[in-house]
């Protein structure tokens, strides 16, 4: 069940947060009416706990959008982006906060509708993040409860309960479910200096639910372990690296050391949104340093001599080697944690021109799953027109930013298979890409933050290599090994990115008050995607294509009349030409290379 007290209350144009600084003596709320007030509440620890911070930050973005309204889309986009930056600066260690803001930014970047509808879309995404967190916590509770034998006496640190999440809890969610099953006899809550989240919040939550709980001082755990009074340690996490090193509330690391010394299992419970696969090791995690006055004072009273300084790191890092298992909503990860994390969270996204009639896609997926059976294989697109490298590049351009960090994109549109073109592995800050050096990665390379490697090491290939099916024999096994933690640089020598093949992508050309663009892609609905971007068309304008003039940009396909050619901003962020419920390509015969003229400053409504 969820906690009976609502700690996050969303009112559409206001956000109420249960002030966790005042618990357990008083249940009071802080009201936030804009993103700035949400940021202040996060920094002041009105709300805390990595999953809860992500939810509240997302709601802060939605709150800012609702406050501004959506009449001026450009202004709204600017203010929402600023709100994301402000909220990101509040708590540097909590990965879930960054993850949630990245999702909100994804909505913003992909938005092509009317400005007035954007606030609602941001609100829906924030509420979705909230509901997903609760569901993930319930799943983790069910999976993790089985780790505790009947009658367990469990130690937990800080507060990883309903107050720290969307309303159920990570570590306390596991304990709550285990107690329902008769597995927990007693919980020890370490007080968690300097802000006493264990004594104040964890004890408050558990006692309200009738779960036996005893508060202990932070330095009493070793004594209880030595006397055999603790059977397991269960904690949450604020950020987990690719190898499993885990940042959590200061004082977690010594508990892991003590648990290892006494042969006691040490479990971490965290949703997949807590993992940061861009960080390899714990020493790369930014540790928040809080005000020393939190240590020097207690409830407003000085407890240390004047003139004395204090250190106040908010988190420490527990090395992967001290962790018995990590419980996630996707399953339990056992040592070696790095391998388990890659297996459980690994995603391979497939883009090919193979179609579905033959078994080519199935063969590639079989190879991947044969190497990593726990990998998630996503079919992005397999109907790319045969040999159309530009179409494959555009599909990749349009989808990659929506995939989770660490996704491996396997792109095989390869008319030169078996020839002299090189097999590649590319790495950016967010994703890894595997495929041929034929221009299919043009838009990725244009980002400028790419490391490139020549895929040469045969131990990452199948034993027998066909000259006509490198997708199965070279690229698929390489992608699978990448999901298991193999680094791109292990697969072959580095290549300067500027040496890689790029497609000739026509750029819009402006001559006076006319911008010359062209169609570069036709989707399966017969809509024509041009190379024109919003920044190319900042003034009112009129489109002209094939002798037809389009006086305005439509907000949706349904605004067009049947048989009418319309222009609208497509989901790719580029100007599209379409015909309502009809394939424009067939009706007009236009395709890639078709010229599109934009006359700026005319009496059009385009913007």
Tell me the per-residue pLDDT of 58-96, one tens digit each, with 9 for 90 and over. Answer: 999 999 999 988 667 778 888 899 999 999 999 999 999
Structure confidence by residue, pLDDT tens digits, 96-111:
999 999 889 888 877 7
**Distance in angstroms (rounded) separating the CA atoms of residues 113 and 550:** 18
| Residue 268 within a domain | yes
353, 442: one domain: yes
The count of domains in the chain is: 4
Phi-psi region of 116 (alpha: psi -120 to 50; beta: other; left: phi over 0): alpha
**Distance in angstroms (rounded) separating the CA atoms of residues 110 and 329:** 27
367, 253: one domain: no
> Looking at residues 119-131, what average pLDDT do you find?
94
CATH for 243:
3.40.50.10470
> Looking at residues 327-339, what average pLDDT do you find?
93
381, 478: one domain: yes
Residue 561 bridge partners (DSSP): none
**Residues with Cβ within 8 Å of residue 604, at least 6 apart in sequence:** 540, 541, 542, 543, 550, 551, 552
Residue 325 has pLDDT above 90, yes or no: yes
> Looking at residues 49-55, what average pLDDT do you find?
95
128, 147: one domain: no
Residue 123 has pLDDT above 60, yes or no: yes
> Looking at residues 335-346, what average pLDDT do you find?
87
Residue 395 has pLDDT above 50, yes or no: yes
| Residue 1 within a domain | no
**Distance in angstroms (rounded) separating the CA atoms of residues 129 and 145:** 24
| Residue 74 within a domain | yes
Q: What is the largest CA-CA distance in the chain?
A: 88
In the listed set 437, 471, 499, which residue is the last one of a domain according to the structure? Answer: 499
Cα–Cα distances (Å) from 315 to 186, 205, 243, 299, 474, in that order, read: 26, 22, 18, 21, 43
CATH for 424:
3.40.50.10790
| Residue 605 within a domain | no
CATH for 107:
1.20.120.420
Residue 517 bridge partners (DSSP): 596
In the listed set 115, 132, 149, which residue is the last one of a domain according to the structure? Answer: 132
**Phi, psi angles (nearest 5°) of residue 233:** -115, 130
- Looking only at the bridges linking them, the beta strands covering 423-427 and 432-436 are antiparallel
Would you place residue 607 in the very low, low, confident or very high pLDDT band (cuts 50, 70, 90)?
A: very low
Helix (H, G, I), strand (E, B) or coil at 249: strand
20, 145: one domain: no
149, 121: one domain: no
> Looking at residues 259-279, what average pLDDT do you find?
94
In the listed set 320, 337, 354, which residue is the last one of a domain according to the structure? Answer: 337
**Distance in angstroms (rounded) separating the CA atoms of residues 581 and 461:** 45
Residue 4 has pLDDT above 90, yes or no: no
| Residue 297 within a domain | no
Which pLDDT belongs to residue 114?
59
**Residues with Cβ within 8 Å of residue 227, at least 6 apart in sequence:** none
Average pLDDT score, the chain: 91
| Residue 304 within a domain | no
**Distance in angstroms (rounded) separating the CA atoms of residues 157 and 478:** 41
Q: What is the pTM of this model?
A: 0.73
Q: Which two tokens stand for residue 27?
A: 């249940």
Cα–Cα distances (Å) from 348 to 341, 360, 478, 510, 522, in that order, read: 14, 16, 11, 40, 26
Determine the distance from the C-alpha atom of residue 370 to the mean position of all C-alpha atoms in its chain, rounded to a whole number. 27
69, 179: one domain: no
Residues with catalytic roles: 238
30, 45: one domain: yes
Residue 348 bridge partners (DSSP): 377, 408
120, burial (CB in 10 Å: exposed 0-12, middle 13-18, buried 19+)? middle
583, 448: one domain: no
Q: Which 3-state string (H, E, C) describes 22-89?
A: CCCCCCCEEEECCHHHHHHHHHCCCCCCHHHHHHHHHHHHHHHHHHHCCCCHHHHHHHHHHHHHHHHC
448, 327: one domain: no
| Residue 295 within a domain | no
Structure confidence by residue, pLDDT tens digits, 15-24:
999 999 999 9
Structure confidence by residue, pLDDT tens digits, 358-386:
999 999 999 999 998 888 899 999 999 99
**Phi, psi angles (nearest 5°) of residue 38:** -65, -45
Report the share of the chain in percent with pLDDT over 90: 70
Neighbours of 334 (CB within 10 A): 12
123, 164: one domain: no
pLDDT, greater one: 560 or 84: 84
- Work out the angle between the directed axes of helices 118-145 and 171-180 (0-180°, nearest 10): 50
Determine the distance from the C-alpha atom of residue 225 to the mean position of all C-alpha atoms in its chain, rounded to a whole number. 38
CATH for 579:
2.40.30.90
Which pLDDT belongs to residue 191?
97
Sign, Cα dihedral of 451, 457, 459, 463: positive
> Looking at residues 533-537, what average pLDDT do you find?
80
Structure confidence by residue, pLDDT tens digits, 482-518:
988 788 999 999 999 999 999 988 888 888 888 888 9
Q: Report the candidate in 270, 226, 220 with the shortest Cα–Cα distance to residue 95.
A: 270
> Looking at residues 123-142, what average pLDDT do you find?
96
pLDDT, greater one: 142 or 402: 142
Which domain covers residue 106, as residue numbers?
8-132
Residue 181 has pLDDT above 50, yes or no: yes
**Residues with Cβ within 8 Å of residue 72, at least 6 apart in sequence:** 115
Q: Which two tokens stand for residue 155?
A: 């130690």
| Residue 124 within a domain | yes
Q: What is the DSSP string of 447-464?
A: TS--EEEE---GGGS-SS
**Distance in angstroms (rounded) separating the CA atoms of residues 567 and 548:** 11
513, 457: one domain: no
């Amino acid at each position: 069940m969820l906690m009976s007290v609502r700690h996050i209350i969303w009112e559409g144009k206001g956000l109420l947060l249960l002030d966790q600084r005042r618990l357990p003596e008083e249940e009071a709320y802080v009201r936030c009416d804009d993103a700035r007030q949400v940021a202040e509440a996060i920094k002041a620890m009105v709300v805390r706990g990595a999953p809860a911070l992500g939810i509240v930050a997302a709601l802060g973005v939605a709150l800012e959008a609702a406050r501004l309204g959506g009449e001026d889309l450009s202004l709204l986009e600017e203010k929402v982006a600023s709100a994301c930056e402000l909220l990101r600066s509040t708590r540097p260690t909590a990965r879930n906060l960054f993850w949630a803001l990245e999702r909100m930014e994804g909505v913003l970047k992909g938005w092509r509708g009317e400005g007035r509808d954007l606030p609602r879309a941001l609100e829906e995404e924030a509420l979705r993040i909230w509901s997903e967190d609760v569901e993930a916590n319930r799943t983790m509770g069910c999976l993790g409860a089985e780790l505790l034998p009947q009658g367990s006496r469990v130690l937990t640190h800080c507060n990883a309960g309903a107050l720290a999440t969307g309303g159920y809890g990570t570590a306390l969610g596991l304990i709550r479910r285990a107690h329902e099953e008769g597995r927990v006899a007693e919980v020890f809550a370490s007080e968690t200096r300097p802000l006493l989240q264990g004594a104040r919040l964890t004890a408050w939550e558990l006692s309200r639910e009738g779960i036996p709980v005893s508060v202990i001082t932070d330095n009493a755990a070793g004594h209880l372990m030595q006397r055999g009074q603790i059977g397991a340690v269960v904690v949450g996490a604020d950020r987990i690296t690719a190898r499993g090193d885990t940042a959590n509330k200061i004082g977690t690391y010594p508990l892991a050391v003590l648990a290892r010394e006494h042969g006691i299992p040490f479990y971490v419970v965290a949703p997949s949104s807590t993992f940061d696969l861009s960080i390899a090791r714990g020493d790369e995690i930014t540790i928040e340093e809080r005000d020393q006055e939190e240590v020097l004072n207690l409830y407003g009273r000085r407890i240390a001599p004047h003139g004395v300084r204090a250190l106040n790191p908010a988190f420490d890092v527990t090395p992967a080697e001290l962790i018995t298992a990590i419980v996630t909503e996707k399953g339990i990860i056992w040592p070696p944690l790095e391998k388990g994390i890659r297996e459980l969270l690994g995603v391979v996204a497939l883009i090919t021109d193979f179609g579905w009639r033959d078994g080519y896609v199935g063969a590639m997926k079989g190879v991947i799953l044969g190497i990593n059976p726990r990998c998630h294989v996503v079919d992005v697109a397999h109907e790319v027109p045969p040999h159309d490298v530009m179409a494959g590049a555009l599909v990749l351009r349009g989808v990659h930013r929506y995939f989770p960090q660490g996704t491996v994109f396997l792109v095989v549109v390869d008319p030169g298979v078996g020839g002299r073109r090189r097999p590649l592995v590319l790495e950016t800050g967010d994703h890894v890409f595997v495929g041929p050096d034929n221009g299919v990665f043009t838009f990725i390379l244009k980002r400028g933050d790419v490391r490139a490697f020549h895929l040469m090491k045969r131990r990452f290939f199948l034993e027998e290599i066909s000259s006509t099916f490198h997708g199965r024999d070279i690229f698929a096994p390489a992608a699978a090994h990448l999901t298991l933690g193999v680094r791109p640089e292990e697969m072959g020598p580095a290549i300067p990115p500027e040496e890689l093949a790029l497609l000739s992508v026509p750029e819009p050309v402006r001559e006076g008050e006319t911008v010359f663009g062209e169609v570069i892609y036709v989707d399966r609905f017969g809509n024509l995607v041009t190379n024109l971007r919003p920044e190319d068309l900042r003034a009112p304008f009129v489109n002209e294509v094939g002798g037809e003039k389009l006086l305005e940009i439509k907000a949706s396909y349904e605004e067009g009349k049947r048989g009418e050619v319309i222009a609208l901003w497509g989901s790719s962020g580029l100007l599209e030409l379409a015909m309502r419920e009809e394939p424009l390509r067939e009706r007009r015969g236009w395709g890639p290379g078709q010229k599109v003229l934009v006359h700026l400053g005319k009496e059009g409504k385009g913007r």
